[in-house]
Structure 1
Amino acid sequence: MSDSEDEGTPQLSSHALAALQEFYAEQRQRADSGAHDKYDLGVIEENWQLSQFWYNQETALRLAEEAVAAAGDGGRIACVSAPSVYRTLRRLHRARCSACLFEHDRRFAGLGEEFVFYDYRRPLDFPPGVEAHSFDLVIADPPYLSQECLRKTAQTIQYLTRGKILLCTGAVMEEEAAKLLGVKMCKFIPEHTRTLGNEFRCYVNYASGLDREL
């Protein structure tokens, strides 16, 4: 393996590996029993017609851990168009943080108050109760690789966040992301459950563990 390939391989801590193994074990147990609850989003599959491309378990775990570390214990995290990260947060980190899913797919409406219907084309159209600058961290994955989508999603991010931003989008959006949100590309490379044609990267505007993936 070359150095460049090695840099792109997610390196999980021993704690993260243990959490991931526990997550897999719980999934197998629940699949065997046929049980699920409103926080078990594993019963909902990604919908390509809605431009949903979900992270694999390792990436979802790594991003969830980063979100909790950045928001701090007791922090609030907004997941904008990132249901696979939200799922991992609720399954593994409910005691450490609160999370809210901003998502266009109404299949998640069963989450109750933790679901906010979101259409990036109306970036500031929120129901009462969604206050400005009320989240310690916003993690966002704009559904389309276009300047228009990123620009409008950026308005949402800036409205919701108290300062910290974790953006996941294509490598081709690096310059635009920096201009709109002041974020820089991290070394960590997110991976999806399915192979995508575009290279995806993570961007942050704070000192992040995602930039120490070697």
Structure 2
Amino acid sequence: MDISEEEMLAELRAISNKSSNSRFDTFEKKVVKTTADNGTTTSKNGIEFLKGNPEDPALNQYWYSQGTVEALANECDRIITDRGESFKVAFLSTPSIYFALDEKKRGSSYMFDYDRKWEDDRGFIFYDFNKPAEFEVEGLKGTFDMVVIDPPFITREVWEKYAESAEWLLKEKPGWGKAGGMVIGTTLQENAGFLDELLGCKAQAFKPSIPNLPYQYNSYANFEGAVYLGAANPEISE
């Protein structure tokens, strides 16, 4: 029996929601509260985000695992702590990492996303990667110290648009070792070449877990000294 596109999408959403709820129920039974070296806990915030925001396949939303959210958020937390709370981060299509930070730590930062479900948050800025330098808020150009990127698509063409956004937002043109042009990103291992070319990013030891994606991502950064991204992810068997 043929089904409409709307019915198929509804089924996909139901499957995604069921899978997400099952994963988080299981995780909560096993979770051990972990704390960053500076004392800031991101575990609770990460769980709350994942439980409260089922993936939306229509927007190509496939969340990191809770452990991966925590590792990425802890890396951001560490950097913000080291450089001071005026350090400004643009979270491009990475709402789970943004919300895993405590409110004080994300006070100078912003979350750029296409999904307006978070538009009541102080830091939300609507973002369409097809318009990489067009935003509804003025005064953003050249004001950020770091961007954190996880595009909904893996192609070079999409990454080029995110790289354009990063260059527009950052204080310095992104490149290896630039203090005002720091970048963290996640994508396929096979994309390492153009991540280096576009943003100066190098593959890190940490491999994100994304339970509902069939292929393996890697993490990338364009600076030395990553701590949480510098360690292997115990969720991923090498």
What band does the TM-score fall into relative to the shorter chain?
Answer: 0.7 to 0.9
Aligned to 2:199: 181
CA shift for structure 1 position 117: 0.7
Q: After the TM superposition, which of the residue ranges 46-55 and 15-24 deviates more from structure 2? A: 15-24
Contact 1:16 1:61 in 2 (8 A): no
Q: What amino acid does structure 2 have at the position aligned with 1:181? A: L
Contact 1:54 1:83 in 2 (8 A): no
Alpha-carbon deviations, 1:24-50, whole Å to 9, x = none? Answer: 8x85xxxxxxxxxxxx67423221111
Q: What amino acid does structure 1 have at the position aligned with 2:129? A: Y
Aligned to 2:190: 172
Answering whether residue 84 of structure 2 is matched by residue 84 of structure 1, we say: no
Partner residue of 1:15 out of 14, 35, 51: 35
More strand by share: 1
Contact 1:41 1:87 in 2 (8 A): no
State the identity %: 26
Contact 1:79 1:86 in 2 (8 A): yes
Change (3 A) 1:159 1:148: same
Q: How many residues align?
A: 185
Across the aligned residues of Structure 1 and Structure 2, the Cα RMSD in angstroms comes to 2.6
Aligned to 2:25: none
Q: What amino acid does structure 1 have at the position aligned with 2:146? A: L
CA shift for structure 1 position 128: 3.4
Alpha-carbon deviations, 1:90-121, whole Å to 9, x = none? Answer: xxx3223423110011111121x411111111
Secondary structure of the residue that 1:202 maps to in structure 2?
strand
Aligned to 1:134: 143
Aligned to 1:156: 165
Write the distance in 1 (CA, Å) between the matches of 2:55 and 2:116. 13
Aligned to 2:218: 201
After TM superposition, the score normalised by the length of structure 1 is 0.77
CA shift for structure 1 position 137: 1.5
Write the distance in 2 (CA, Å) between the matches of 1:152 and 1:21. 31
Q: What amino acid does structure 2 have at the position aligned with 1:101? A: M
Secondary structure of the residue that 2:35 maps to in structure 1?
helix
CA shift for structure 1 position 197: 1.5
Write the distance in 2 (CA, Å) between the matches of 1:80 and 1:49. 18
Contact 1:165 1:205 in 2 (8 A): yes
Aligned to 1:31: none
Query: 5+ residue gaps in structure 1?
Result: 1-11, 28-39
Write the distance in 1 (CA, Å) between the matches of 2:76 and 2:65. 16
Answering whether residue 84 of structure 2 is matched by residue 73 of structure 1, we say: yes
Q: What amino acid does structure 1 have at the position aligned with 2:221? A: V
Change (3 A) 1:210 1:158: farther
Answering whether residue 137 of structure 2 is matched by residue 119 of structure 1, we say: no
Contact 1:70 1:164 in 2 (8 A): no
Contact 2:188 2:216 in 1 (8 A): yes
Alpha-carbon deviations, 1:29-73, whole Å to 9, x = none? Answer: xxxxxxxxxxx6742322111111111221111111111222333
Query: 5+ residue gaps in structure 2?
Result: 1-31, 172-180, 233-238
Secondary structure of the residue that 1:159 maps to in structure 2?
helix
Write the distance in 2 (CA, Å) between the matches of 1:141 and 1:154. 11
Change (3 A) 1:21 1:165: closer
Answering whether residue 113 of structure 2 is matched by residue 106 of structure 1, we say: no
